[in-house]
Chains A and B, each alone.
Chain A
């Protein structure tokens, strides 16, 4: 079975461009959703997002609700097509002539959604939901079912016991395991996890996270892990990308982000995360108010309306993220990071 081959990193047959080539490069992705009834206005869900995903790593994406995390996930799979920007998967451009075809991309990239309930067809036994992917990709029904059985076993569900069941007969954690199995059934190289554990109990969450880590190692997977839960992201990620209102504000290795956050937004996000120590209670919310309306985002730095360090330069100039192509680089899109920006605190942080 293809799975057995994929579990050995040295024998990864679909690998085309070698280990140095990032598995996925996203360059300047944009998606604006036009607003009905308002001409020329659009929700700027994702506005110029660039990053790379290295082979075998877990890239965590964090941000408040509405910052474009889920749209970004759908863009990566071309479930919604980007307005601008390009995607390069293992050296092949996606969706252009001479590049990788959409179907081939979808065989290699799969997605797990947050809502384990609505992501399974209620009228289908779960083994058929899992077998659907391989079946669509040309396996015979019996073959697809065998794959489904094997994968259900891999995610810790007895195929005889759980396979014939319907989604409403499973618990949330079990359903999410089925969703993971469904994503893995087509033998993908990359899995996009869109808040996969946010709807689960804490105990189940830990099980599923451990399962994801184990599967990643066994099947040589690459993860893009989207979450708003900082603990979860810290636990599972190698690198973290922080989004605010459709843009990347900070990108770097997980420890650097959590120990020395550069961007005021990241700092606020980390500070707003409740402390386990009652002596270190948060008295004042480090960040207040809602994110601005993505239809009409602030000029310059989008965080300036809530930023304690905002200055005139933040209003007039869009901060750039800086050089981030090196995997270890830790960068933030903030004028305080750029000594030449004219911000009074530039270079201090």
Chain B
């Protein structure tokens, strides 16, 4: 083998073919996949609709959701102007459903966000540092795993008393351990790879390595898992309200509405089923969007 001539530029011996496909970054390719996934787009539209309705509830709702009326109690769909009927205190169901979405979405998203931050951070630190620190963090999380998640939420909310704040806190506590575990697993996988070692070889400290090389690779799995937890959180929050451990009456909330209307199921069955349907549609939409995201983000890198 002969050495190459040094007076020639080095790139002359490697044919550099122009890229056949457009060079796309990671997020660009994720969006490209999402745009070609009609199911996910459809359910994302529903989610957007629910979110927008909740945000602009005062503008969208036809009536005041708290205005009671003795004469118009438990009316069926389309009675007078009550498009979706009325509840046991004569309040407009449509308005209450729209307002109820506010609470449900808040209870669905806020606990997951906080849990992702706290659990994610704990998991990344534990996974990256490893050793005793990791053992302490993960065994502490395992303690929470000993309880079924619904039972844990009920127990925490029950112990602290009802109300929206306590309900959110209870849900956050329920979601921190699984979030932590997902982040820890992803971090442990990344930590063993050579580019972490190469980064350390340049003299980068732990925090810089985590910031530039770990977080980006852990964010994906954490985000996907968090998006799937939103629907679980909405369900659990409704469950708490149903049991009287979440928001208090007269606040409009799907779980609470389901609970108070259940005595009237033989009078206006379809009206009584509405809050349940709302919970179902919202949570399945979030679930399917999360599935779509997972598929789109599972780019082979």
Contacts and interface: CB of A to CB of B under 8 A. Distances in A.
Contact of B195 (A77, A121, A156, A161): A121
B23 A77 contact: no
Interface string A88-126: 000000000000001100110111010100111111110
Interface string A156-179: 111001101111110001000001
A179 B193 CA distance: 14
Contact of B202 (A125, A132, A218): A132
B269 to A, nearest CB: 52
B216 interface: yes
Contact of B11 (A133, A156, A179, A186): A156
B212 A115 contact: no
A121 B216 contact: yes
B264 interface: no
Contacts of A169: 19, 23
Contact of A79 (B3, B16, B197, B301): B197
B143 interface: no
B18 interface: yes
B146 interface: no
B200 A79 contact: yes
Interface string A121-137: 11111000100110011
B3 A210 contact: yes
A79 B14 CA distance: 33
B202 A110 contact: yes
Given A123-B216, A154-B10, A210-B13, A132 B204 contact: yes
A206 interface: yes
A165 B29 CA distance: 13
Contacts of B14: 156-157, 173, 207
B71 interface: no
A243 to B, nearest CB: 21
A119 B193 contact: yes
Interface residues of B, number: 32
Interface string A179-208: 100110010000000000000000000110
A122 B217 contact: yes
Nearest to B213: A121
Contacts of A166: 23, 25-26, 301
A211 interface: yes
A246 to B, nearest CB: 21
Contact of B1 (A115, A158, A210, A217): A210
B11 A137 contact: no
Contact of A158 (B11, B26, B198, B300): B11
A103 B204 CA distance: 9
Contacts of A137: 202-203
A107 B217 contact: no
Contact of A235 (B1, B212, B217, B301): B1
Given A125-B25, A161-B18, A214 B203 contact: no
A343 interface: no
A137 B205 CA distance: 11
B271 to A, nearest CB: 50
A103 B208 CA distance: 14
A183 B197 CA distance: 12
Given A132-B212, A156-B11, A157-B16, A123 B26 contact: yes
B81 interface: no
A136 B203 contact: yes
B202 A210 contact: no
B4 interface: yes
Nearest to A177: B14
Given A123-B217, A125-B25, A166-B301, A210 B6 contact: no
A153 interface: yes
Contacts of A122: 217, 301
Given A136-B199, A136-B208, 14 more contacts: A110-B201, A119-B193, A123-B301, A125-B25, A136-B202, A137-B203, A156-B14, A161-B18, A165-B19, A166-B301, A209-B1, A210-B1, A211-B4, A217-B6
The 7 closest A-B pairs by CB, nearest first: A119-B194, A122-B301, A133-B202, A123-B216, A156-B11, A106-B203, A113-B194
5 contacts: A115-B194, A119-B193, A132-B204, A173-B14, A179-B198
